[in-house]
Amino acid sequence: MAAEQSFAHPDITPFKPTRIAWMVLGLCFLLALLGRGMGETFTVFLLPISNDFGWARADVISIYALASLSMGLSSPFVGRLFDFSGPRTVYGLGLLLLGAGVSLAAFANTLWQLQACMGVAVGLGMACLGNVPSSLLLGRWFGNRLPTAMAIVYSANGAGVLTLVPLSQVLIDHFEWRNSYHLLGSVLLFLLIPLLLLPWRRIAKQTARASGEAAVKAVATPATTISEIEWTLLSAMRHHAFWALFSTFFFTAIGVYTIGVQVVAYLIESGFPPLQAASAWGLSGVVLVIGMLTVSWLDTLIGRRRAILFSYGLTTLGIVCLWLLSRFPNLWLLGGFLVCFGSTIGSRGPLITAAAINIFHGKRVGTIFGTISIGSGLGSALGALVGGLIHDWSHSYDLVIAFALVNVLLGMIPFLTVRALRE
């Protein structure tokens, strides 16, 4: 394959490894910002689409749920595609699907058309630009520093919320939702050109060298733990750590996305102006970056398990603040929700990702981690959809918030009970 041949091209003068490493990290950050950021913009498109078509909340949220499901179910295939074809193919396909899906959504007139564009196409694009390929690529460069590198990439989710959510609201206010989708999609498709023109052969060659050096170091280290097993997908699925990580992703995603997809609508219906509500949720992107760095720092200070449990505690406190906000609407509770919930919704991700890659290393790590990530996709889809159904049935957010809280607590349990995740 051309991707494989490029790893050994003899006539290319390589960049300095440090320069390449930072270039790769920056690229992963930018692509994650675009992918996840565009996914989160649906929170401000929710009400305009609902009002335009007169659809029930659950019907509109099914679009977001389908995107999450598509992203999760495709993750193993994205990991496998990355293992065999490399980052250029994966990232190029992701940006193409993302841009095409958003652009075509501007012309949709039925629910199934929006589900196909914003659900299937955008979901697949997000998977190709998301954490699975980034963790695999960065793992070859940063080794033991992968949690820190992934914290930076995960913070792109927050940066995407901070920039693209308020921007989308401004575009909707001035051009309505259809023209906004058309404009955003056109920009994404244009960015495909510089992406494909990057020096992928040089990056590939240096990545191969970095991976080789890491392999030599690994050979020199005695094999004493489960992380030294040469894993396959089937052997990984027979280990309890696989399903523990899967359930953590699954239940946590249910809790987070039950709230996340409706939070802007919730704030608007609580009396906040639309732009203020969108901007407030966008500010969670700032505190998310702080949360990422804090939890990664705590990982080195108090250990991975304690750092993760601390983040779950803050998430729980944030959900309580959100519940109180409906009864005592004020900026203090709003700030408490944004700081506690916003700073931790993705802060565990780098540590959990690093734990998974450290355990299930080897040639099939992309497929294995991608399969584990199905839990996140299924959970986010189920959380978004069930949250919408609960709201339509109860005409209140109380049960929505309670449902989210229960699932966040369930997501924390594996780190209290599973030995492999306590080491």
In tens, the pLDDT along 329-377 reads: 788 888 888 888 888 877 777 777 777 877 787 677 777 877 888 888 8
- The reported pLDDT for the residue numbered 209 is 55
What is the extent of the structural domain holding 47? 2-221+229-421
Please identify every stretch of the chain with a pLDDT value under 70, giving residue numbers as ranges. 1-17, 143-144, 146-147, 204-229, 285, 362, 422-423
In the 3-class helix/strand/coil scheme, how is the chain assigned residue by residue? Answer: CHHHHHCCCCCCCCCCHHHHHHHHHHHHHHHHHHHHHHHHCHHHHHHHHHHHHCCCHHHHHHHHHHHHHHHHHHHHHHHHHHHHHCHHHHHHHHHHHHHHHHHHHCCCCCHHHHHHHHHHHHHHHHHHHCHHHHHHHHHHHHHHHHHHHHHHHHHHHHHHHHHHHHHHHHHHHHHHHHHHHHHHHHHHHHCHHHHHCCCHHHHHHHHHHHHHHHHHHHHCCCCCCHHHCCCCHHHHHCCHHHHHHHHHHHHHHHHHHHHHCCHHHHHHHCCCCHHHHHHHHHHHHHHHHHHHHHHHHHHHHHCHHHHHHHHHHHHHHHHHHHHHHCCCCCHHHHHHHHHHHHHHCCCCHHHHHHHHHHHCCCCCHHHHHHHHCHHHHHHHHHHHHHHHHHHHHHCCCHHHHHHHHHHHHHHHCHHHHCHHHCC
**H-assigned helices in 191-199:** 192-196
Predicted pLDDT of residue 97: 96
| Dist. CA 30–CA 26, nearest whole Å | 6
CATH code: domain of residue 216: 1.20.1250.20
* Cα atoms in the 13 Å half-sphere on the side-chain side of 185: 23
Cα–Cα distance, 224 to 228 (Å, whole number): 7
**In the prediction, which pLDDT does 14 show?**
42
- What's the structural domain count of the chain? 1
The size of the chain, in residues, is: 423
Give Cα 70 distance to the centre of its chain.
13
pLDDT at residue 206, rounded to an integer: 64
Q: Is the CB of residue 119 less than 8 Å from the CB of residue 70?
A: yes
pLDDT at residue 423 in the model: 58
> How buried is residue 413: exposed, middle or buried, by Cβ count under 10 Å (0-12/13-18/19+)?
middle
Q: Does the model's pTM come out above 0.85?
A: no
